[in-house]
Amino acid sequence: MFAKLADDLAELPALLDHTRAVAIRVLDSLDDRPVAAAIHARPAMALPESGDGEHGHRVGCRGHRTRDHHVAW
């Protein structure tokens, strides 16, 4: 067996024990944590006085560069 793989195999039980301990802490704390993260209002982005027009729509549409690939998400 390669030395690195043998080292990984030797450390595996400790890694699994640590993973189990973290999982138990997370599961034990579920009752104390909120269901969802709090939503914080963000300031509105400043828009330029003149935009890119149709070119901006085509290039900025989820990375697609043609209108044929436009999908309403």
Q: Confirm if 18 and 25 have CB atoms less than 8 A apart.
A: no
The count of domains in the chain is 1
DSSP three-state, residue 64: strand
Q: Residue 57's pLDDT is what?
A: 55
pLDDT at 73 over 60: no
Range of lowest pLDDT (10-14, 20-24, 40-44, 69-73): 69-73
Structural domain containing residue 18: 3-69
Q: In terms of pTM, does the model score above 0.85? A: no
- Residue 61 three-state SS: strand
Task: Tell me the sheet residues that pair with 64.
Answer: 61
Q: What is the pLDDT of residues 24-63, one digit of tens each?
A: 999 999 999 988 888 889 898 888 877 766 665 555 555 5
